[in-house]
A and B are shown apart, each in its own frame.
Chain A
Amino acid sequence: MKYTPVIGLEVHVELKTKSKMFCECSADYFGKEPNSHTCPTCLGLPGALPVPNKTAIDWCVMIAQSLNCEINEFSKFDRKNYFYPDLPKGYQISQYDLPFGKNGEVSLSSGKTIGITRVHMEEDTGKLTHQEMGGVKTSLIDYNRSGVPLVEIVTEPDFNNAKDVVAYLQMLRTIVRYLDVSNADMEKGDMRLEPNISLTTDVSKLPPYKVEVKNINSFKFVDKAIVFELKRQEEILESGQIPPQETRGWNEIKNATFSQRVKEEANDYRYFPEPDIPPIKFTKEQISNLKSKVPELQVEKITRFVKQFSLSSYDAELLTRERALADYFEQTVAQGIEKNISAKQIANTIINKKIDHTTISPEKLVSNIAESSQIKSLDESELQTIIDKVLQDNQKAVKDYKSGKESVIMFLVGQCMKAIGRKVDVNAVKEHLVQSLK
């Protein structure tokens, strides 16, 4: 039977705001002493109340706009009610029917278009770790992370393979890094993925089940987990059965997914409008104001770089992976104009020489490139003649070098350079010298 994968993604992006979503605790919780970044609000103490973080909301809207979403002019927060030890209030403040963003779309480089169902704001939970203490299974809870702002991005079930999923995640990561709203580091947990995976034989209909996979903590596992899950489901379907609708966890040691809880009934979250937080109303002006703060994103930049600087799309992609690098490139190009250095030269240098843009200024890089291009090419036989003469004239040095004193090579290189008399590629000289000394 021919099965087509049907995959939809739920990605949670943790925002790097200074304070938490609904309280003034520092949101910089990673690596801190447990329960040292809490307050009555994020600890769920009696009498505490939430007040939303304006920056977090602005950033959520900008993420939605980067994904070409419509922004709801009227939206609100809702309570999602369920019990779990990492959820101190017994409900999570989230958004239900009026998320900040909806109906977006992105195009992957493969040409595939992915529908973005919604982009909404919610608060993170505390962190649970499990231990056995004195023979008793214990769960330990750290609420430092509780209340940190999360943006949830849900796609339509438009993915048909793992490769596109990985491409989408990379695109999403680049976008939020461009916006400078999140570090989107899967290993650190500031970008989390939950794919909903199923297989269908009839692409015009949604399959009668879907399996949610949790606990994929690294980019390298995304592909593996999806491939494993698709295979597992195919085997069940081939045997004539339908895979149970459930949540499964990815086990990176066993390289397999395993059943977490078979839900007899879907969790009834009893959503209702959050009474403690007044609704949010955006004016058209505020929405376009936020849009203007969204920088040129990677996809557009690649197109522009290819056109404007005659780069290959491969090179353009490398140069635009980080916004800072892309800006650096353009600044260097601007500097290079006076010295007649082409954008292509600059691109090649940056890429091939793996230039660290944080240590070499655009001006310096341009002058380095200018210098090395002045270096005239050397005739091989001319070089060899000079080398032979230098070796002959400096026999002691040669002996020293051959007996292990490697630093002597620089003296010999110097002698060659003197004899050549003009600016040439020092490294080429050195290479030939070393060869000749063998």
Chain B
Amino acid sequence: MNNLTIKDAREKLTKKEISSVELTKHYLTIVKTYNEKLNAFLTISEKEALEQAESADKRIGEGDSTPLLGIPLALKDIYVTKGIKTTAASKVLEEYIPQYDGTAVMLLKNAGAVILGKTNLDAWAHGSSGENSDFGPTKNPYNTAFVPGGSSSGSPVTVASEMALAASGTDTGGSIRLPASFCNVVGLKPTYGRVSRYGVIAMSSSLDSIGHFTKTVEDNAMYLQVTAGSDPHDATTPPVAVPNYTKNIAKGVKGLRIGVPKEYFIEGLDPRIKKMIEDALKVYEKLGAEIIEVSLPHTSYAIEVYYIVQTAEVSSNLARYDGIRFGKDRSHFGDEAKRRIMLGTYVLSAGYYDAFYKKAMQVRTLLKQDFDKAFKTVDVIIAPVSPTIPWKLGDKADDPLAMYLSDIFTVHANLVGVPGLAIPVGFIDSLPVGMQIFGPHFSEEKLYQVGFAYEAVNPVWKERPNL
């Protein structure tokens, strides 16, 4: 069952060539074989998974069909799951067992998905490499001496190493797109508000996007079909209809105007990555798209705005962790969490609010105007995800600022709320490289079409790691 996709698996399940229980047992075996080496899962919920698989088989037997019925997947351990330990990879929540399921989890369960367990992350989603986990870093399956990217570090690894068919993540400043491109998988950061945040441990409320990893673009669309939609429990989910994401996915890119932002192709970008993206753009041209240079002039300020807005919201969102109603007290926070809480507290504090927070809110408006203007002349924008290829575990450990700068190409989308789809484009030094496709709010259907077109010509995802 190498390189099985959700699409393939769904077909096999419907044809009764395989049962969900068999599929689940298969993946659980792989998990148990490789998890110690890769440290992708923090919790394996075998019993619950098999129960879910059994009930999925029953539904399949009754002729039921949903895009994820019977499909084993993993959840970033920032998704609150009733009765199953949820830690945010932090010692504070080391023993926390939630009393409720979040909306996205309920939707996945109702669709008959099988949840294999909870995956590792940078604690509280604070990080870009997975090294801030309180339970040890996850390793990149393509080279275990290297980082898989973060903060959703475990999830892309489960998909890349065939421990699961899909895995959920969150993207607040690139935490899906970056690890997706480091692990040779497809990662979607949906439009802010496309998927409910209710029941996902909040990092930065106005930036958190609830997305997921899959092997292929079409798989990714099938998953979004289940989780997208407005939620009465989340007041920031607009009542925008959910289109059929897979129906026209093979539409192609003829006549598509692809914007290339010049501010993303700057000196800090590894020239090999630059070449790869340029080659990808040539592919799109051949397929009938038009490549147009655009400008997102305030790009260089995005990181500063991000580290003000995000840390401010983090400092407030983490205030509830006081050890009284659940979890352990605040002395159990790791260093990175402490740094961000203090930074956020500082930028909101009396005397500093105007210079930092208010200023950041204003520049955020300018960043939004950048994208609005660009999308008047192009349909989508393509850019690199990371300025560098994955780095070795430990390389950036002592320099928090250097770690923050790995987000320079990803945070802009979060500040503005636009969706971004990261897809694999190739390998450098045997390490995965990806590119990201942005579109206006709620343009996921188009992003999938664009991603699908490239993937059909260049199926990089098929290259499995040697485990």
Contacts and interface: CB of A to CB of B under 8 A. Distances in A.
Interface of A: 40, 43-52, 79, 81, 83, 85, 88-91, 141, 143, 268, 270-272, 275-278
Given A270-B345, A272-B316, A45 B99 contact: yes
A268 B320 contact: no
Nearest to A273: B361
A46 B201 contact: yes
B235 A50 contact: yes
Contact of A272 (B102, B321, B357): B357
3 closest A-B pairs by CB = A90-B319, A270-B348, A275-B205
Interface stretch (B172-180, B322-330, B433-441): B322-330
A270 B320 CA distance: 16
B309 to A, nearest CB: 9
B198 A48 contact: yes
A44 B320 contact: yes
Contacts of A272: 312, 316, 348, 353, 357
Interface string B61-104: 00000000000000000011000001010000100101110100
Given A89-B320, A275-B206, A45 B232 contact: no
B98 A46 contact: yes
Contact of B349 (A46, A52, A91, A268): A268
A90 B312 contact: no
Interface in B144-164: none
Nearest to B105: A47
A79 B200 CA distance: 20
B202 A47 contact: yes
Given A46-B88, A278-B236, 8 more contacts: A45-B98, A46-B80, A47-B202, A48-B199, A51-B233, A81-B315, A143-B325, A276-B205
B322 to A, nearest CB: 7
B54 interface: no
Nearest to B234: A49
28 contacts: A44-B325, A45-B100, A45-B320, A46-B93, A46-B96, A46-B98, A47-B80, A47-B98, A47-B200, A49-B198, A49-B234, A49-B235, A50-B235, A83-B319, A83-B322, A85-B324, A89-B320, A90-B319, A91-B316, A143-B325, A268-B349, A270-B345, A270-B348, A270-B349, A272-B316, A272-B348, A275-B313, A277-B236
A40 B235 contact: no
The winner among A49, A79, A81 for most chain B CB atoms within 10 A is: A49
Given A40-B99, A85-B324, A47 B316 contact: no
Interface of B: 79-80, 86, 88, 93, 96, 98-100, 102, 197-202, 205-206, 232-236, 312-313, 315-316, 318-322, 324-326, 345, 348-350, 353, 357
A350 to B, nearest CB: 48
A278 B320 contact: no
Nearest to A274: B205
A79 B345 CA distance: 13
A354 to B, nearest CB: 49
A34 to B, nearest CB: 13
A45 B198 CA distance: 11
A52 B198 contact: no
Contact of B233 (A49, A81, A270): A49
Most buried by A among B86, B198, B325: B325
Given A276-B235, A278-B236, A49 B197 contact: yes
B322 A47 contact: no
Nearest to A38: B325
Contacts of A52: 235
Nearest to B93: A46
B199 A47 contact: yes
A143 B326 CA distance: 14
Given A47-B80, A49-B198, A277-B235, A268 B99 contact: no
A47 B319 contact: no
A81 B319 contact: yes
Contacts of B96: 46
A45 B326 contact: yes
B325 A45 contact: yes
B325 A51 contact: no
Contact of B324 (A40, A48, A141, A268): A141
Given A44-B320, A89-B320, A278 B88 contact: no
Nearest to A276: B205
**In the complex, which of the residues B201, B319, B321, B345 has the most CB atoms of chain A within 10 Å of its own CB atom?**
B319
Contacts of A45: 80, 98-100, 320, 325-326
A52 B205 CA distance: 16
Contacts of B86: 46
B328 to A, nearest CB: 13
Contacts of B98: 45-47
Contacts of A275: 205-206, 236, 313
A83 B345 CA distance: 13
Contacts of B357: 272
Contacts of A89: 319-320
Contacts of A277: 235-236
Contact of A81 (B80, B232, B348): B348
B115 to A, nearest CB: 16
A268 B350 contact: yes
Contacts of A81: 315-316, 319, 348
A108 B86 CA distance: 57
Nearest to A81: B316
Contacts of A83: 319, 322
Contact of B316 (A85, A90, A143): A90
Contacts of B353: 270, 272
A91 to B, nearest CB: 5
Most chain B CB inside 10 Å of its own CB: which residue of A50, A272, A278: A272
A276 B349 CA distance: 20
B198 A47 contact: yes
Nearest to A23: B233
Contact of A91 (B93, B319, B325): B319
Contacts of B198: 47-49
Contacts of B200: 47
A342 to B, nearest CB: 56
A45 B98 CA distance: 8
A149 B206 CA distance: 24
Nearest to A22: B235
